[in-house]
Every structure is written in C-alpha cells, then in structure tokens.
Amino acid sequence: MQESIAQAELAREQAHEIFNRVMRAWVVDLLSIRRQGLDRPGARGLREPGRQPLRLGRLAQR
C-alpha cells in the first residue's frame, strides 16, 4: 500500500514537471509570435523572409 502511494506521488510530480516544461515552451513560442507581429489574423501572410508586418516596418522607419 505504501509503495503504491509513493509511486502515485512520483507519477504526479513527473506529470507536473512535464506540464511546466510544456507551458514554458508554449509561452516562449507565443512571445516569439507576438514579437514578430504575427498574433493578428491579418499579419499571417507577412511571414516571408525579409518582410515585417506593416506596423513594425513603420516603427522602424521613424
């Protein structure tokens, strides 16, 4: 009985660690998308090498 409780606790801890790693990776990806200005539906077609969303291009020219 004690052994199964320990195994369940270990499994819970491992699942928690995996969840945290996945969430960190998701946040990094989301921030990258936002930095590129691709978090708006209208900007998705602008993801080509050397092109920036119009909003960021205007800010860079100022």
Q: What whole-number distance in Å separates Cα of residue 58 and Cα of residue 25?
A: 30
Residue 44 structural domain: 2-61
Residue 46's pLDDT is 58
3-state class percentages of the chain: helix first, strand second, coil last, to nearest 5: 75, 0, 25
Q: How many domains does the chain have?
A: 1
Residue 52's pLDDT is 55
**What is the pLDDT confidence band of residue 22, given thresholds at 50, 70 and 90?**
very high
pLDDT digit string (tens) for 26-54?
A: 999 999 999 988 887 776 565 555 555 55
Q: What whole-number distance in Å separates Cα of residue 44 and Cα of residue 38?
A: 6
* Predicted TM-score of the model (pTM): 0.56
Q: Is residue 62 scored above 50 in pLDDT?
A: no
On the 0-12 / 13-18 / 19+ scale of CB atoms within 10 A, 58 is: exposed
